[in-house]
Amino acid sequence: MSATTQSPTAPDSRAPSKARRLLGDQRLPVAATALLFLVMYGVGLSRYQYYGFAEPQVFLNLFIDNGYLLVAAVGATFVILSGGIDLSVGSMMGFTTMFTAWLVERQGVPLPLVIPMALGVGAFGGFLMGYVIQNFEIQPFIVTLAGLFLFRGLCLVISKESISISDASVSSMADAQVSLGVGFLSIGAIVALVVLAVAFYVLHYTRFGRRVYAIGGNEHSAMLMGLPQGGTKIAVYTVSGFCSALAGLLFTLYIQSGDPLHATGMELDAIAAVVIGGTLLTGGSGYVLGTLFGVLVLGLIKSIIQFEGTLSSWWTKIATGVLLCVFILVQRIMTARKRT
């Protein structure tokens, strides 16, 4: 640890400590995920070049097909950075699809009114869970588990059957294509990218973002430093609830129906994306851009399995599991190295 005596900006002339510093760099997991994405994309290009894999639209489709997951994973990133966990993401998304479909189709409420209502319900749900976690000191795991049951149950209370949406405003919004010259993006994909940009700004350039990292790093220290950890914690779950509801809206647009079983288990996809993106599950360390790469890697697995044709869909689960495992082990080895 001789390197620590030097000023951080001075260029380091000695190779070994440079390598050591590189390995200790918190950005390394993100770089590794980005590299993995590029390698996988390269493999895809070489294997399926005659099937049109090289077309820019295949790349843009990753955003179109996974925009909702990106939004949900961004919300999960906030929670995980703060050292918590939110298991209600998938249920909240499912509930939002049901809520939206029911209001638009059965009640005839115009979409511009339904969107803020759905987002409000999501944010309020997140706020309630955060409030209980903070004020009654019950573990986030169990409180959000109750949230999981509650919102999935509320889906079924609205309707046992799926409600398909034939509303013109929804389908025109879902089918809208934003041209980028080489291809197009859907409105959902644009919204997801905007959410990512806002989250990046909030986490890295605002006081709130720094508090999230601080309480994730060490909640006790953060409290002793006088940070308003209670408010921050509640806010983090509110953000996650809001993101889940927004992800649910994007999912509704993507699939144009509400179903009580929509987005089952999506919280695990979101957590997997965050972990593969290099965020430490103990909290306090990670980047929201890593989450983007995590989502892209998961999306690319799905695309490659589609292109492969002969592989069955369950390989997606196995591949996701193997990737999760590799990244968790890499994270572990890196944090062990940092500590010694």
Partner 1 sequence: MTTSSRWRALTQHHLFWPVAVLVLLLLVNVPFTPDFFSVRMSGGHLYGSLVSIVLFGSPLILVAVGMTLVIATGGIDLSVGAVVAITGALACSYISHQADQNALSGVLLAMGLGLLAAVVCGLWNGFLVARMGIQPIIATLIIMVAGRGVAQLISGGQIITVNSDPYKLIGGGYWLTLPFSIFVVAVVVAVTVALTRRTALGLLVESVGGNAEASRLVGIRSRRIKIMVYVFCALCAGIAGLMISSNTSAADGNNAGLWIELDAILAVVIGGTSLLGGRFSVGGTVVGALVIQTLTTTIYTIGVPTQTNLVFKAAVVIVVCLLQSPKFRARLFGARFGGKGSATPAAAPADTAAAADAAPKMEVS
Q: How far is the CB of 95 from partner 1 (least distance, A)?
A: 11
- Give the integer Cα–Cα distance in Å for 143 and 295: 26
- Residue 190: name the closest of 201, 202, 179 by CA: 179
Q: For partner 1, give the closer residue by CB, 219 or 259.
A: 219
Q: Does 329 help bind partner 1 (rule: CB under 8 A)? A: yes
In the list 190, 223, 305, 330, the residue contacting partner 1 (rule: CB under 8 A) is 223
Which contiguous run of DSSP H or E holds residue 6?
none
Q: For partner 1, give the closer residue by CB, 245 or 270.
A: 270
- 3-state class of 177 per DSSP? strand
Q: For partner 1, give the closer residue by CB, 196 or 275.
A: 275
Q: Does 316 help bind partner 1 (rule: CB under 8 A)? A: yes
- Residue 21: name the closest of 30, 12, 33 by CA: 12
- Residue 71: name the closest of 207, 252, 301, 211 by CA: 252
Q: How far is the CB of 281 from partner 1 (least distance, A)?
A: 5
Size of the site for partner 1 (CB under 8 A): 49
Q: Does 142 help bind partner 1 (rule: CB under 8 A)? A: yes
Which contiguous run of DSSP H or E holds residue 185?
strand 184-186
Q: How far is the CB of 294 from partner 1 (least distance, A)?
A: 13
Q: Does 6 help bind partner 1 (rule: CB under 8 A)? A: no
Angle between helices 28-48 and 288-308 (to 10 degrees): 20
Q: For partner 1, give the closer residue by CB, 50 or 136.
A: 136
Q: Which residues contact 70 (CB under 8 A, 6 or more apart)?
A: 63, 192, 193, 195, 196, 273, 291, 292, 295
In the list 92, 234, 236, 271, the residue contacting partner 1 (rule: CB under 8 A) is 271
Is 112:261 a contact under the CB 8 Å cutoff? Answer: no
Q: How far is the CB of 315 from partner 1 (least distance, A)?
A: 7
For partner 1, the binding residues (CB under 8 A) are: 85, 132, 135-139, 141-143, 145-150, 152-154, 156-157, 160, 218-220, 223, 260, 268, 271-272, 275, 281-282, 312-318, 320-322, 324-325, 328-329, 332, 336
